[in-house]
Amino acid sequence: MKILSVLLLLLCSLPAFAKKPIRVVDVGVMGLASHDLFQWNTQTRENEENGRFDLSTIFDYADGTRIHQGGNPKNSSNAAVYSITQNLVSFYAGKKAALLMSRTVTEEQAHIIARQQTVAFFMGMVKESYERFTNARFPDYALAQTVTDDEQGVMRALHDILPGKIYVNRNLTREVFEVTDFRLAMTQLSPTEMMKPVKFYDGKYDEEYLHVVVPGFPDPTIINLQAIDQSFIAEQTNYNLDDMLAELQFYGQFPFFGNLVHFTSFGYHLENLFAKGICNKYVDGSPNTWNTVAVECY
C-alpha cells in the first residue's frame, strides 16, 4: 500500500506537458474547420453549413464571389483563422494559375481541380491540428450523418483554448498582440508566430473574450463570448458549459497521458463530428467531389 502511494505521488508530480502542445496554427485550423462545418443562424436556430469538409465556407459563400477575400467574413474574425484562410486562398490561386498556364484546361476545370487540391491540403492540416487539440488519433472511419448541436456545443466549449494574447515579432521587437482587437483581425501572422504554443486547457475563457468589441454604427457592440456559448449550450444541447469547462480544467491538469476524446464525458462528439466531416457523401446522399481524400461512409 505504501509503494502504491509513493507511485501515485510520483505520477501526480509529473508535468502536464506530457500532452502535445497546442499552437496558434492549431487554433486557426480548428477555427476554420468549425466554420466549414457550422454556420449557425440565430433566427432560424439551424445550421446553414453542410457538415462536410469541402471549404464551402470559402468557395461557396456569396455564390463564390468572395473567394479571394476568404469567403465568409467570419474567416477574418481573428488573426489565426485569417492567416490559415489566406494561406489556403494563396495555395488555390497558385494551383489555378499553374493549371491555366498549361493551356490544357478551361477556367472552370482549373477552378475545380485547384479547389480539390486546396481541400486536400487543408485536410492534412486538419488531421495534424485535431491530433494536437485532442491528443487522440484522427478518426479512420466516416459517418454519413448530419452534424448535431451537441457537436457544435463541444466545439464552442473548446473556446477555453483560445488565447487572448499572443506574442508577435514586429519592428524587430517582441510585442503583445491582443487577438480580439478587431483592428488586428486581418493580420497575417508569420510561420514562426503561428508555431507559438498557447496555454493548455484550464477551464477558463481568457479575459479578452469576455468583452469583445464588435465595430458598428453609431456605436460598437460589446459581446461576451462565454455568455453566448453558455446560452447556446444550455438551449441547444443537454450539456452545461460550466460543467464542460470543469472537465477541461481537470483534463488540462491531469498529469498522465490521455486524450480529450475519451477523458471527458463529451469528447466523443468531437470524434463523431470529424468522422462526419470526412464522409464522401453529403447528408442528401450526393457525392462530396471537392474532398478527394474523403473516406467512404455508409
What does the pLDDT read at residue 241?
98
pLDDT digits (tens, 9 = 90+) for 224-281: 999 999 999 999 999 999 999 999 999 999 866 689 999 999 999 999 999 999 999 9
Average pLDDT, integer, range 197-217: 93
What does the pLDDT read at residue 255?
61
Cα separation, 87 vs 82, in Å, equals 8
Average pLDDT, integer, range 165-182: 86
Report the mean per-residue pLDDT for the chain: 91
**Angle at Cα 124 formed by Cα 121 and Cα 129, nearest 5°?**
130
DSSP annotation of 211 = S
Rounded to 5 degrees, φ, ψ at 195 are: -90, 5
User: Residue 66: is it exposed, middle or buried by C-beta count within 10 angstroms (0-12/13-18/19+)?
Assistant: middle
pLDDT digits (tens, 9 = 90+) for 106-155: 999 999 999 999 999 999 999 999 999 999 999 999 999 999 999 999 99
Please name the helix (run of DSSP H) or strand (run of DSSP E) that holds residue 197, with its range, or none.
none
What does the pLDDT read at residue 28?
98
Cα separation, 118 vs 291, in Å, equals 9
What does the pLDDT read at residue 87?
98
Cα separation, 221 vs 211, in Å, equals 9
Average pLDDT, integer, range 28-47: 96
pLDDT digits (tens, 9 = 90+) for 52-103: 999 999 999 999 999 999 999 999 999 999 999 999 999 999 999 999 999 9
**Angle at Cα 217 formed by Cα 215 and Cα 221, nearest 5°?**
45
User: All 3 cell numbers of residue 227?
Assistant: 455568455
Cα separation, 102 vs 43, in Å, equals 47
What does the pLDDT read at residue 220?
87
> What percentage of the chain has pLDDT greater than the value 90?
83
* 196 pLDDT higher than 60: yes
Note the residue count of the chain.
298
Q: How confident is the model at residue 7 (pLDDT cuts 50, 70, 90)?
A: very low
pLDDT digits (tens, 9 = 90+) for 272-288: 999 999 999 999 999 99
What does the pLDDT read at residue 8?
42
What does the pLDDT read at residue 217?
78
